[in-house]
A and B are shown apart, each in its own frame.
Chain A
Amino acid sequence: MLKFTLLRRTCKQAAALTIAREDRALKLNDAVALRLHMMACKACPEFENQVLTMRAAMGKWRNDPAVEDEKP
């Protein structure tokens, strides 16, 4: 826990920040640390892709009336 440095995040921390970013702005050092982590990690970009897909899906679900159009 103490080897936690200013710009180092574990995958668990990175996942927490990735999901938190959907609802609030990250602190600058967190945002930078997250970017750095994403560049170095293989797993977390997949998680980020899930979160971003969800974001896009909710946007489409909310705004595109055709998406859920009932078949007459």
Chain B
Amino acid sequence: MATLTFEEQLVEHRVYLMRFARLQLRNDAWAEDAVSETLLAALSKPQTFGNRSQLKTWLVGILKHKVIDIIRCHTREVSTPDSDIDNEGDELDRLAFKADGHFVEPPASWGDPHQTLQQRQFFEVLDTCMERLPPTLGRLFLMREWLELSSQEICKELALTPTNLYVQLHRARLRLQECLNIHWFGQRTR
């Protein structure tokens, strides 16, 4: 275990990095570029880490910078106005409310969050649900949740108004909840 060279350790994490890069960029070629550049950058400043997680965290940190660079290079392609960012009505209507503003059907109980988050499979389903978001919506959501960019930064990168950004983020959140309702909590609660 201690015999792996730094290069070998890096290669071990390639698949892991690719998953994040793909999820964020929604473009395999860009994702390959981001990961290759990350590994090159890492190779140019070899370091020793106490364990796998520390190396991973360091690599993910570099990857985020590379991904942001790529988003900047491709701003126009990333946020084309005719993409899935547009108005398809009030996303809350997916939840189905009566005219008086009450739920038609009460929201499903998700039970104890701590218990849910203990389960590795839950995160696999979450991953799948994120993959299923339309590309533009997925990118925007992950710019917030994975790259942890501020609203101003995202608006600037994607040329969105704050209101539009919030609408899109809420839409992404509701879709993820809906997806988890069906593919995770649905089987469990009833």
Contacts and interface: CB of A to CB of B under 8 A. Distances in A.
* Most chain B CB inside 10 Å of its own CB: which residue of A24, A46, A54: A54
B101 A52 contact: no
Contacts of A16: 92, 170
Interface residues of B, number: 43
A19 interface: yes
A49 B185 CA distance: 13
Contacts of A39: none
A11 B97 contact: yes
Contacts of A56: 113, 117
Interface in B107-129: 107-110, 113, 116-117, 120, 122-123, 126-127
A37 B187 CA distance: 29
Nearest to A67: B123
Interface residues of A, number: 34
Given A19-B173, A46-B107, A24 B151 contact: yes
Interface stretch (B36-44, B53-61, B67-75): B53-61
Contacts of A67: 120, 123
A53 B101 contact: no
B106 interface: yes
A19 B15 contact: no
B107 A50 contact: yes
Contacts of A68: 16, 19, 123, 127
Contact of A57 (B16, B57, B117, B151): B117
A71 to B, nearest CB: 10
Given A16-B92, A50-B107, A68-B123, A62 B146 contact: yes
B31 to A, nearest CB: 16
A65 B173 CA distance: 22
Interface in A51-72: 51-54, 56-58, 60-62, 65-70
Top 7 A-B residue pairs of the complex, sorted by shortest distance between their CB atoms:
A10-B101, A43-B106, A53-B113, A47-B107, A65-B56, A46-B107, A12-B97
Interface string B74-111: 00000000000000000010010100111100111110
Contact of A43 (B52, B103, B127): B103
24 contacts: A11-B101, A11-B102, A12-B97, A16-B92, A22-B170, A23-B144, A23-B166, A23-B169, A47-B95, A49-B113, A52-B113, A53-B113, A53-B116, A54-B177, A56-B117, A57-B122, A57-B123, A61-B123, A65-B52, A65-B60, A67-B120, A68-B123, A70-B15, A70-B16
